[in-house]
Amino acid sequence: MKKSQITSLEEFQTTGYFLQENFISQAECDSLLKLIADYRRANSVPKIYRNVKPIPLSRSVINGKIIQSQIREVQKLYETMNQVINNLTNKQLFPLQDIQVGCNINITEKGGTYQWHYDRNAITALLYLNKVDGGEIEFYPNYRIILPNAKFSRFQSVIDRVQQLSFFCHIFGKQIIIKPQPGLLLVMAGDKCLHSVRPVTEAKDRINIVMAYDLPNANFVIKDKLNTYLYSSKKFDNTDPSYIMFG
């Protein structure tokens, strides 16, 4: 292992996240932004709005199936990033089996936000392609009290709800706020790190690529409900899609 790799691994293991500025160059960001703009000129991109408190989910998304078949450069990036993630975590992780979810392009317009949540998967890499006013990601690394083998259970949902109360975060969490900038890479343990996106305050879209990795046998029992919630404009009942709720 290279020395820089060991340093990054230690940093990731102690802090629960990893940041690298200029992971890709401005020119590479521009070329990815152009591909995304070309796609958007020819296709409509669904906007997902879920009126949850205190921060709604309000963003448009190009899902992984489209990326795989039509935006090949982004798909290649998802695949090459896998090695970076494995070096950083010292684990053998893989792209998600659920292609729709594995790699996404999030487009957040003025006023848009992303609700407080944990990701379903173990490791998430966020690559920011541009700079906007507002739109900071706010997160609490390695914050979640996670139930072994019961990450999607009703009991886990109770723990998560308590931990998401703002006074709880302020007392027990370490708050990190990161402004998007072109080429910035943020890697986090997505299922342990509580995170949200603050409102974009200028009339320009915030654009980033979200890449998810996990063990090959990772099983997301909440998959169907959560996918409807995150990717379709269908109405959704009140139960939280991140958990299995009986009765």
Ligand X SMILES: O=C(O)CCC(=O)C(=O)O
Our finding on whether 213 is near ligand X (CB under 6 A) is no
Host H or E run for residue 33: helix 26-42
Please, which residue, 98 or 119, has the CB nearer to Fe ion? Answer: 119
Cα-based distances in Å from 13 to 9, 87, 119, 177: 6, 12, 18, 19
**Partner from ligand X, Fe ion, none binding residue 208, C-beta < 5-8 Å depending on class:** ligand X
Residue 197 interacting entry, from Fe ion, ligand X, none, C-beta within 5 to 8 Å by type: ligand X
Hey, which residues between 88 and 127 contact Fe ion (CB under 5 A)?
119
Q: Looking at 74, 102, 119, 130, which residue binds ligand X (CB under 6 A)?
A: 119
Q: What angle do CA 51, 56, 58 make, to 5 degrees?
A: 100
Q: Rule CB under 6 A: choose which of 48, 85, 96, 137 binds ligand X.
A: 137
Spatial distance between the Cα atoms of 77 and 85, rounded to a whole number of angstroms: 12
6-to-3, 16, 201 alpha-carbon distances in Å? 5, 15, 38
* Binding partner of residue 126 among ligand X, Fe ion, none, CB cut-off 5 to 8 Å per kind: ligand X
Question: Shortest approach of ligand X to residue 173 CB, angstroms?
Answer: 16
* Residues 42-81 close enough to bind Fe ion by CB under 5 A: none
Asked if 185 touches ligand X (CB under 6 A), the answer is: no
- Of 5 and 125, nearer to ligand X (C-beta) is 125
Q: What angle do CA 221, 138, 58 make, to 5 degrees?
A: 65
127 touches 184 (CB < 8 A): yes
Counting contacts by CB under 6 A, is residue 106 touching ligand X? yes
Instruction: Answer for the pair 72, 79: CB distance below 8 angstroms, yes or no.
Output: no
In sequence order, what are the beta bridge partners of 178? 137
For the bound state, the minimum distance from the C-beta of residue 19 to ligand X, rounded and expressed in Å, comes to 12
The site for Fe ion (CB under 5 A) is made up of 119
Q: Which residues bind ligand X (CB under 6 A)?
A: 106, 114, 119, 126, 137, 195, 197, 208, 210
